[in-house]
Amino acid sequence: MEITHRTVETNGIKMHIAEQGSGPVVLLIHGFPELWYSWRHQIPVLAEAGYHAVAPDMRGYGDTEAPLGAHNYTYFHIVGDLIGLLDALGVDKAFVVGHDWGSAVASHLCLFRPDRVTALVNLSVVLRPRDPTTKPTEKMKTVFGEGYYMCRFQEPGRAEEEFARYACATVLKKFLLTTRTDIFTASPDKEIIDVLETQPTLPSWITEEEIQYFAKQFEKTGFTGGLNYYRVMDLNWELLGPWTGATITVPTKYIVGDKDLVYTMPGMKNFVHGGHLKKIAPFLEEVVVIEDGHHFIQQEKSNEVSDHILNFFRRFST
């Protein structure tokens, strides 16, 4: 039994998926700048445990189609892709794991279609309540300044142009290997990619060959598809008005590294541990903080993350 690949038609696009195993479906949703390959450690573990692990390249990434225009990357498009994928797999419900942007997508899948989700594991990122008074980019500029990376990513073409000054593998290393615990921000005379350090050596959890797999895919596709998830944040906010105050109504677990820059950003620990996360995810059953873990936790601490996912999902498996 090994990982196999195929293309499915869903929601008007062709989506590449990697899969292994049989049994209840576990949908693994990656973030930026990643691929199905980010779940290469979890897929065989889940399959061995009796699950059908399915990891797509998300819309705009890898071997999945990338429609032109950021307006084609709203949560409604992305969740629509996943509903179509579940239909193509012939399943009514799935276990769902999301990381980074994939975690935000997974949360909205649960908001829109809780009937299709058995249980949710969020890695690194959690759903935050919608502020009905302020657009996300306006709030971020006020709190973090215009040099904040999510603000910088808004301008079409700017990040792509700056990334292109580096080898693709170097860009991937700057993101995937970061150990920063502060927010990504740049002064007016610098670009985000320039202020991200390049680690002199690879950590033990990733090889040069694995970096090259990511790099070759992004060399083919570029980064625009992934950056469109950032560029549609305000449009998402406009469209999500009806879900103001809505909560996640499926059993939920949250896993984060103690040195993840999301977890260490101002106010996040209080949000997670002070009862605020429980309000928006009332069926939150467990919060796990992994020691010496950074942002790309499912790769860096793959065994621990796989064990935590399995231990949670087994509670709901017959």
Task: Supply the residues annotated as catalytic.
Answer: 100, 230, 295
128-133, long-range: CB within 8 Å, 24+ apart, which pairs?
A: 128/271, 128/280, 129/245, 129/279, 129/280, 130/237, 130/240, 130/241, 130/243, 130/244, 130/245, 132/241, 132/244
Per-residue burial over 156-184, b if 16 or more Cβ lie within 10 Å, else e, is eeebeebbeebebbebbbbbbbbeebebb
**Of 1, 21, 23, nearest in space to 317 by CA:** 23
In angstroms, rounded to a whole number, what is the distance separating the alpha carbons of residues 231 and 70?
6
In angstroms, rounded to a whole number, what is the distance separating the alpha carbons of residues 170 and 214?
11
In angstroms, rounded to a whole number, what is the distance separating the alpha carbons of residues 152 and 141?
10
Question: In the 8-state DSSP scheme, what is residue 241?
Answer: G
Handedness of CA 179, 181, 182, 183 (dihedral sign): positive
